[in-house]
Structure 1
Amino acid sequence: MRKLRELDLSGTAIKVLPSSLFEHLKALEILSFRMSSKLNKIPIDICCLSSLEVLDLSYCNIMEGEIPSDICHLSSLKELNLKSNDFRSIPATINQLSRLQVLNLSHCQNLQHIPELPSSLRLLDAHGSNPALSRASFLPVHSLVNCFNSEIQDLNCSSRNEVWSENSVSTYGSKGICIVLPGSSGVPEWIMDDQGIATELPQNWNQNNEFLGFALCCVYVPLDDESDDVSENEPDNRSEDESAHTSENEIDDKSKNDSVAELSEYVFTPSCRLKCSLKICGDNITLVDLPLYESSCFCYDQDNDSVSRQTWVIWYSKAAIQEWYPSDQWPYIVPLFEGFYNTFKKAFKVEECKVRLIYSQDLPLTTQTQDAHTDVRRCSECQQEATCRWRGCFKDSDMKELPIIENPSELDGLCLRDCKNLKSLPSSICEFKSLTTLSCSGCSQLESFPEILEDMVILQKLDLDGTAIKEIPSSIQRLRGLQYLNLAYCENLVNLTESICNLTSFRTLIVVSCPKLNKLPENLGRLQCLEYLYVKDLDSMNCQLPSLSGLCSLITLQLINCSLREFPSGICHLSSLQHLSLRGNRFSSIPDGINQLYNLIVFDLSHCQMLQHIPELPSSLEYLDAHQCSSLEILSSPSTLLWSSLFKCFKSRIQV
């Protein structure tokens, strides 16, 4: 059997394979154990198959610890299918598979962590797996950026990067890297704080060596009613011409009993299709690329109730744009999504979508200094934050309290991400005199933030998202240099202290999905340096929104799904405002003073179902989203002030 190239053992009752078998399969390129449910461990002797390109171990009940670390010796492997298995982790050595392009981890319900991945990867499919995988701390962003960098180089060799084979359950056609994740957590944290869906590229992007490309992200949900028209279920942050879709779920036990005959005759027939029409606009020309993800997973053939939410992420290189038209005169990218499942009989809609521009500083460190102060054990997030040289990284540690750190005054970064047992921080945190960043993201048992006993003027960034913190102490005002505070998904947070308004350097505040928060600081308008304010899912019936008129430096304001019955009066005085999102609120009108916002570029009013009237808008406006405003009637007359102001916007763009 020395010339055997393909071996299909799908649906067999094999438990163990003799080690001598693999000695005679040196030419083997394709090996399938699909649905061999009694094979609960990967034979280590497989790892000697140096010619193997495709390995299918889906539905094999592979348990934790039964994926050998020697899998890295499969030097020719291009596609690895581990779908629907029982392991919790993958050996870190997988990043040594230098030719791996496709990794299928879908329906791995016990999977808790994805390690660093090889830079050759182009398709990662984890739909229907552990929902926690879509959180930033689980997503291997560091290695995905490596893939992004590698993909830029690949563009010199191929005009289209289509990942497909006869054995694939999932395929991707286009440039870039495709990632499909469980969508229950919404847009991943690493992308959620950035752009809306219509995005302006940086000036002189073609010559700007720091700008590398962008990432597109969409959260898909199945439509609730089969009879709904796809065109009537438009995504958030999108124009009326858009629709969307996506979804996933676990395969049931019945599917595992499909006959061997069906398996042997398996041909890739997609039952799900996610498509993005990517418009790149400029120079009176619009380029369109069509990234396409398709899957033949059985879960997509289920009914609506059986199909779950999921997230689709595409990393797209600027080199792909340069290949078409090497010019800086391409100011916008506008991705439009659509899709179907159940062999295209049912539709998806987009629930949320974002765009993130990617710069060289987002890339991981290529070298690390080896002096005594440098912690060489760094998680992927730490490796991206290159500004911190002497960093203590304790991500995923099981510690209950912060250990004693020698020379704490020299540490400039402290990472405690996903320390699930950490319940408190010491007040001695003040001894970290050089600390610029402190991340407690995902410390789900951290119930309190310590009193700050003395001034800390260096600390700039504080991540408390996903913690169990109930309140922010008033002594936070002693963090004199604090610029960034993330309180997203703090489900126990009930109070945000007034003293935060004394932070004169404060620039970014994120308060998202904090259901118990019943008060925002009354003097929030005193934060004259604040540039970015993101508030989402605030119950305005129980929480009074403070005056915002004093936020003279505010550039981006997002008040999303806050049940606002009145348009916030102070907004019309925010002359520096460029991006304004009031999506999902309940006010019926907008004051005429909105046209005083002469720097406003993006105005999102989508899903404001009570809105009846839009007044004259500033001529600077470039993007207006009012889809799903079901009470809006003003557009029926072309002579209205709205149409007049939109014409002024059009003339303004021509003059520019």
Structure 2
Amino acid sequence: MESHFLRKPTSKRLHAITFQFNVDDGIITREFARTCISTCNHLRYLNLENGNFEELPSSICNLKQLRLLFLGYNKRLKKLPDSICELQSLLYLYLNGCLELGDLPKKMKRLISLRELSLTTKRMSLQESGIQYLENLEFLGICNCQNLRVIFEGACRLTCLRKLEIVDCVGPISLPFVELIALESLVLNNCKFKLTQDNKSKFPLNLRTLSIKNSEQVVELLQCLNESAYSLEFFAVYDCPSFTAIPVWLPNHIRLRVIRLIQCPNLSSIPQEFQSLIALKELRIEYCGELSERCRPTIGKDWPNIAHIPRIELDLEWVQWMED
């Protein structure tokens, strides 16, 4: 593979290396990564997903113009070199699916340009990595971290963080809401959380998107929003049998445009207060027991509460579709 393009004189001018197909195990080795780094000094985009090496070469710091670095789904990657923190032009770093990744650099706060970070790690805490000081970070994705208990705590400078996703983390994880003043989107999928009175009271006040999936704590999580500003525009609950009633405060979020209720078999009814959601454009109800029947056009008991919504889907069938 190296002889195909990396040994050509023009390789020094390459700005991007990626693959248009899923590579097999063993193709992207540490030697291949080292050759990419040493030969192509002007890289801005480097995709080493599905790699087969335990540690990224420390020479990665020589790629001063690198903007995007994909290292995801490397089943052997155990450590990142400290030198990666010298990539001050790096905007996107993806480490999701690296199930063996343990050690994280302790000076990640030096990645001053970083906008998006997605990771999987074996660590119990991200506190020592310093990600809570990434002042320009806009997206943080945490996936399949089976040992994680603390994301960070105490002082935090994530004042630009707009989207937080926590997926497939068995926990319980302490939610880091302190000073997340810019957070607009929160996605919580298949996780268990440690909910204290402190982090409940500091739940983000300006959320526009909230999505909860497969959580036994869905009711408790939603109670955290009771005192928040009424800013929601997208609200979704998936695979939550313990979700039995629409929160009484939800109709107060008059900016709501989309509501999705999927596989919540014990959800009993749609309250009359839904009629006040005049901005609501789409309602989807799928596999929620008898709720679909209660929402059937003209004949359903709850139909008067939702008839004003332009687009309504019941069990994968659009029963109402009106243009805005």
Question: Which of 645, 648, 651 in structure 1 is aligned with 2:305?
Answer: 645
User: CA 1:372/1:570 → structure 2, altered by over 3 Å: closer, same or farther?
Assistant: same
- 1:502 aligned partner: 157
Q: In the alignment, does 2:235 pair up with 1:580?
A: yes
SS of the residue 2:249 aligns to: helix
- 1:391 aligned partner: 45
SS of the residue 2:200 aligns to: coil
- How far did 1:476 drift? 1.0
User: CA 1:373/1:591 → structure 2, altered by over 3 Å: closer, same or farther?
Assistant: same
Q: In the alignment, does 2:18 pair up with 1:378?
A: yes
1:595-641 CA-to-partner distances (Å, cap 9, x unmatched) read 22222122122332333332221122232233333375993897999
- 1:416 aligned partner: 71
User: CA 1:548/1:559 → structure 2, altered by over 3 Å: closer, same or farther?
Assistant: farther
User: CA 1:602/1:427 → structure 2, altered by over 3 Å: closer, same or farther?
Assistant: same
Q: In the alignment, does 2:117 pair up with 1:462?
A: yes
Give yes or no for contact 1:456–1:481 (8 Å, CA) kept in 2: no
- 2:182 aligned partner: 529
- How far did 1:456 drift? 2.8
2: CA distance, partners of 1:611 / 1:576: 24
Counterpart residue identity of residue 184, structure 2: E
- 1:258 aligned partner: none
Aligned residues: 278
Give yes or no for contact 2:86–2:110 (8 Å, CA) kept in 1: no
**Residues 248-327 of structure 1: pairs in structure 2 closer than 5 A:** none
- 2:136 aligned partner: 481
1: CA distance, partners of 2:278 / 2:139: 32
SS of the residue 1:592 aligns to: coil
Counterpart residue identity of residue 531, structure 1: E
1:280-317 CA-to-partner distances (Å, cap 9, x unmatched) read xxxxxxxxxxxxxxxxxxxxxxxxxxxxxxxxxxxxxx
Counterpart residue identity of residue 443, structure 1: C
Q: Point out where structure 1 has 5 or more consecutive residues left out of the alignment.
A: 1-90, 92-369, 382-387
**Residues 39-54 of structure 1: pairs in structure 2 closer than 5 A:** none
User: CA 1:516/1:444 → structure 2, altered by over 3 Å: closer, same or farther?
Assistant: same
User: CA 1:547/1:587 → structure 2, altered by over 3 Å: closer, same or farther?
Assistant: farther
Question: Which of 591, 608, 630 in structure 1 is aligned with 2:289?
Answer: 630
1: CA distance, partners of 2:167 / 2:96: 14
- 1:69 aligned partner: none
Q: In the alignment, does 2:204 pair up with 1:546?
A: no
- How far did 1:448 drift? 3.0
Counterpart residue identity of residue 605, structure 1: L
Counterpart residue identity of residue 539, structure 1: K
- 2:262 aligned partner: 606
Q: RMSD across aligned C-alpha pairs, in angstroms?
A: 3.7
Counterpart residue identity of residue 442, structure 1: G
1: CA distance, partners of 2:309 / 2:105: 50
1:136-184 CA-to-partner distances (Å, cap 9, x unmatched) read xxxxxxxxxxxxxxxxxxxxxxxxxxxxxxxxxxxxxxxxxxxxxxxxx
Give yes or no for contact 1:573–1:596 (8 Å, CA) kept in 2: no
Counterpart residue identity of residue 307, structure 2: F
2: CA distance, partners of 1:392 / 1:654: 45
Counterpart residue identity of residue 476, structure 1: I
- 1:11 aligned partner: none
1: CA distance, partners of 2:210 / 2:84: 32
- How far did 1:438 drift? 1.3
Give yes or no for contact 1:390–1:410 (8 Å, CA) kept in 2: yes
2: CA distance, partners of 1:619 / 1:641: 20
User: CA 1:428/1:596 → structure 2, altered by over 3 Å: closer, same or farther?
Assistant: same
Q: Point out where structure 2 has 5 or more consecutive residues left out of the alignment.
A: 2-9, 22-41, 312-320
Taking every aligned residue pair, what percent have the same amino acid on both sides? 27
Question: Which of 157, 163, 171 in structure 2 is aligned with 1:516?
Answer: 171
Give yes or no for contact 1:437–1:460 (8 Å, CA) kept in 2: yes
- 1:338 aligned partner: none
User: CA 1:433/1:597 → structure 2, altered by over 3 Å: closer, same or farther?
Assistant: same
Give yes or no for contact 2:19–2:47 (8 Å, CA) kept in 1: yes
Counterpart residue identity of residue 450, structure 1: P
SS of the residue 2:251 aligns to: helix
User: CA 1:622/1:392 → structure 2, altered by over 3 Å: closer, same or farther?
Assistant: closer
Give yes or no for contact 1:437–1:461 (8 Å, CA) kept in 2: yes
SS of the residue 1:509 aligns to: strand
- 1:260 aligned partner: none
1: CA distance, partners of 2:97 / 2:247: 40
User: CA 1:500/1:374 → structure 2, altered by over 3 Å: closer, same or farther?
Assistant: farther
- How far did 1:376 drift? 5.2
Give yes or no for contact 1:449–1:473 (8 Å, CA) kept in 2: no
2: CA distance, partners of 1:592 / 1:639: 25
1: CA distance, partners of 2:322 / 2:292: 28
Counterpart residue identity of residue 620, structure 1: A
1: CA distance, partners of 2:292 / 2:227: 23
